[in-house]
């Protein structure tokens, strides 16, 4: 696979002294490209890979020069997060922890209830639950290296970890609470056409009248599966608000 950087978003040719590395485990195109020495405001890249044009963009942080294909697949997203994992906690810890604590204060469940964190990442969002005394917590994420980062948290040493694609989630376990932070946004893992099947999977993993809550989403849960308890908007950073939702299984 021959990878060449062509232009960045302003239409300018990429400078000759740019240094970059890329994922070499994929056959058709890299799942990620790490670029050094680009201007800090560059969000998009045009590349030529084996004589075909592919477009990449900054996905999570403008402070990190890690680019993902604009029309990424879920497997490419997994590899992207494997690469990003060592930096993820440092860049998102404060935001995710505060958002998770915000949702937690809005519910009441017994301390021994089984809890599932979908798209758990490096585990930051589960820590407020541990600090409140919840001990039966399962963290599920598609990225092996993100879960490896989660295992480093001493607060999570008694949690269970599952590496799995949420879309393929299947277990006999039932949970009193399932929550997810930023996993159900349209620019994340899932397309709208997938959501009908995904909502059924989430509902199937809940106990009767179990609670489902999420923050940072674009797709509303169906009323035939979940009865909304509360919803609203939460300011993640100044000037940017994310939707949040709490519902019960019907």
DSSP labels for 103-172? HHTT----TT--EEEET-TTSGGGHHHHHTT---EEEEES-HHHHHHHHT-GGGTTSEEEE--GGG---S
Regarding whether 106 and 58 lie in a shared domain, the answer is no
Within a domain: 79: no
End-to-end, the C-alpha distance of the chain in Å comes to 50
Q: Are residues 175 and 118 in the same domain?
A: yes
What is the rounded average pLDDT for all residues in the chain? Answer: 89
pTM confidence score: 0.88
Which structural domain range is residue 212 located in? 96-249
Q: Would residue 85 count as lying in a domain?
A: no
Count of domains forming the chain = 2
Supply the CATH number for residue 112's domain: 3.40.50.150
- Chain position carrying tokens 């490209």: 33
pLDDT in tens, 128-164: 999 999 989 999 999 999 999 999 999 999 999 999 9
Examine residue 34 and state whether it is found in any structural domain, yes or no. Answer: yes
Contacts of 112 (CB under 8 A, 6+ apart): 135, 136
Rounded mean pLDDT of 217-230? Answer: 92
Which residue would you say has higher pLDDT here, 186 or 213? 213
Q: Examine the pLDDT at 15 and tell me if it is beyond 70.
A: no
Q: Give a yes or no: residue 61 inside a domain.
A: yes
Alpha-carbon distance of 79 to 81, in angstroms, equals: 5
Please give the average per-residue pLDDT across 198-212, as a whole number. Answer: 93
Same domain, 114 and 179: yes
């Amino acid at each position: 696979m021959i990878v060449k950087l062509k232009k960045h978003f302003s239409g300018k040719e990429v400078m000759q002294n740019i240094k970059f590395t890329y994922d070499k485990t994929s056959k058709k195109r890299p799942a990620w490209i790490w670029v050094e020495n680009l201007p800090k405001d560059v969000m998009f890249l045009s590349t030529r890979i084996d004589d075909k044009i592919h477009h990449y963009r900054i996905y999570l942080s403008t402070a990190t020069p890690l680019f993902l294909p604009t029309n990424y697949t879920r497997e490419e997203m997994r590899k992207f997060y494997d690469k990003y994992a060592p930096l993820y906690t440092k860049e998102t810890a404060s935001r995710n922890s505060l958002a998770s604590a915000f949702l937690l204060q809005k519910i009441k469940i017994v301390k021994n209830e089984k809890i599932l964190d979908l798209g758990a990442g490096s585990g930051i969002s589960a820590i407020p639950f541990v600090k409140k005394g919840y001990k039966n917590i399962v963290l599920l994420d598609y990225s092996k290296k993100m879960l490896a980062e989660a295992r480093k948290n001493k607060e999570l040493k008694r949690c269970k970890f599952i590496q799995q694609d949420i879309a393929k989630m299947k277990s006999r376990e039932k949970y009193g609470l399932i929550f997810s932070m930023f996993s159900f946004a349209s620019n994340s893992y899932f397309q709208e056409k997938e959501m009908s099947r995904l909502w059924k999977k989430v509902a199937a993993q809940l106990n009767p009248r179990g609670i489902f809550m999420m923050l940072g989403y674009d797709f509303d849960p169906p009323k035939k599966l979940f009865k909304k308890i509360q919803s609203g908007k939460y300011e993640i950073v100044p000037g940017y608000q994310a939707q949040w939702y709490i519902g019960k299984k019907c």
